[in-house]
Structure 1
């Protein structure tokens, strides 16, 4: 089983600096991969405003995408389509083209989340689809993952850029004192910002996702 992820930049055509947005995403992906080196390849730009990547398991993929959302600056945001299933890459003379049910599911997922953003859940950014032909026992896991992703997206989308930085720091194990020194504010201000943003739930969820990776 492979977890395929397609990401695209939201409202990219309205950005004043599209190239700068791409660079910010690539730099954020590199930082996330350094801080959480999960199995599989990280997201990489492919064409236009789209990035793609493959991960070895769903927990690692969701943990990485959370850190990426927390790492992005205020003026750059992405939506993510996550497909779980088989990958059957096509070998060409000069490159390998990603293909297969996991990628079809990821495309379905990103189309779904875009529709969801325009109606019931404007702050939603992540959707997960189980590819056809996969073990039916995965259905409940995917349903739980969708519910978790919607809830955490609501929290992250409502955060300020500083609150996201602070939450990222807590996820990767930095103390409130360290974060206060980095931000040039008091430890009390860090604590208040984290509390107001609801960061504790995200940090605990991240710890649950990465328990196996970090053990």
Structure 2
């Protein structure tokens, strides 16, 4: 199984400095990969405001994309379309082109994110679509994962920048004491911020999808 990911920049046309924003995105992706390398091919800019990446499995993709969401500063964000299915290169005089049902599924997924944003769930940022031919286990996994992602995106979208930084720190294994020192606040303040942000639910939900005990 291979996981294809398409990402586009939220509100890219409204950014005051598109070049500076791209630098932030590139630096964020690089830092996420340094902290927890999960991508087979990390997200890389392709054309316009779009990026493409490939992951070995669905859980790795969801973990890495969450880390990117948490690490980005206010005012800069991604939408993610996750496609489950085969991906293959197509030879071209311009180099290899990405093709295959996994990419078609990722395109459908990101179109779903756009559609949901315009309706009752404006904080939706991530969706998964399986290419035709998935077995019942994968279909069930995708359905459960999408239910988790709807709630996860809502919680992350409601966080302030500090809450996202603290949540990122906990995801990569930093203690509350370490985070308190980094932020210049008390450990009880860190604990309160994480509790108010719903960080434990996000991380334990991710563990459940990965089949890991809390």
Per the normalisation by structure 1, the TM-score is 0.94
Residue in 1 that maps onto 2:24: 24
Number of residues paired by the alignment? 212
Deviation of 1:39 after TM superposition, in Å, equals: 4.6
Greater Cα shift, 11-20 or 87-96: 87-96
Q: What CA distance in whole angstroms lies between the structure 2 residues aligned with 1:83 and 1:120?
A: 23
Deviation of 1:180 after TM superposition, in Å, equals: 0.7
Q: What CA distance in whole angstroms lies between the structure 2 residues aligned with 1:135 and 1:204?
A: 26
Which residues of structure 1 form unaligned runs of 5+?
none
Residue in 2 that maps onto 1:11: 11
Q: What CA distance in whole angstroms lies between the structure 2 residues aligned with 1:79 and 1:133?
A: 25
Q: Contact (CA 8 Å) 1:124, 1:154: kept in 2 or not?
A: yes
Q: Contact (CA 8 Å) 1:6, 1:51: kept in 2 or not?
A: yes
1:62-77 matches, cutoff 5 A: 62-77=62-77
Deviation of 1:134 after TM superposition, in Å, equals: 2.7
Greater Cα shift, 130-139 or 97-106: 130-139
Q: What CA distance in whole angstroms lies between the structure 2 residues aligned with 1:56 and 1:202?
A: 22
Q: What CA distance in whole angstroms lies between the structure 2 residues aligned with 1:136 and 1:193?
A: 39
Q: After TM superposition, where is structure 1 displaced by more than 6 Å over at least 4 residues in a row?
A: none
Deviation of 1:154 after TM superposition, in Å, equals: 0.5
Q: What CA distance in whole angstroms lies between the structure 2 residues aligned with 1:211 and 1:19?
A: 40
Residue in 1 that maps onto 2:105: 105
Deviation of 1:79 after TM superposition, in Å, equals: 0.6
1:1-215 matches, cutoff 5 A: 1-208=1-208
Q: What CA distance in whole angstroms lies between the structure 2 residues aligned with 1:73 and 1:206?
A: 22
Q: What CA distance in whole angstroms lies between the structure 2 residues aligned with 1:17 and 1:46?
A: 19
Q: Contact (CA 8 Å) 1:40, 1:55: kept in 2 or not?
A: yes
Q: Which deviations, in whole Å up to 9, do the C-alpha atoms of 1:14-47 show, x marking residues without a partner?
A: 1111111111111111111111111511111111
Q: Which deviations, in whole Å up to 9, do the C-alpha atoms of 1:150-173 show, x marking residues without a partner?
A: 110000000000000000000100
Q: Contact (CA 8 Å) 1:39, 1:60: kept in 2 or not?
A: yes
Q: Contact (CA 8 Å) 1:63, 1:209: kept in 2 or not?
A: no
Instruction: Name the SS of the counterpart of 1:167 in structure 2.
Output: helix
Q: What CA distance in whole angstroms lies between the structure 2 residues aligned with 1:183 and 1:134?
A: 45
Q: Which deviations, in whole Å up to 9, do the C-alpha atoms of 1:63-121 show, x marking residues without a partner?
A: 00000000000010111000000112102245211100000000000011100000021
Q: What CA distance in whole angstroms lies between the structure 2 residues aligned with 1:95 and 1:184?
A: 49
Which residues of structure 2 form unaligned runs of 5+?
none
Q: C-alpha root-mean-square deviation of aligned residues, in Å? A: 1.5
Q: What CA distance in whole angstroms lies between the structure 1 residues aligned with 2:26 and 2:47?
A: 13
Deviation of 1:184 after TM superposition, in Å, equals: 1.0
Greater Cα shift, 161-170 or 179-188: 179-188
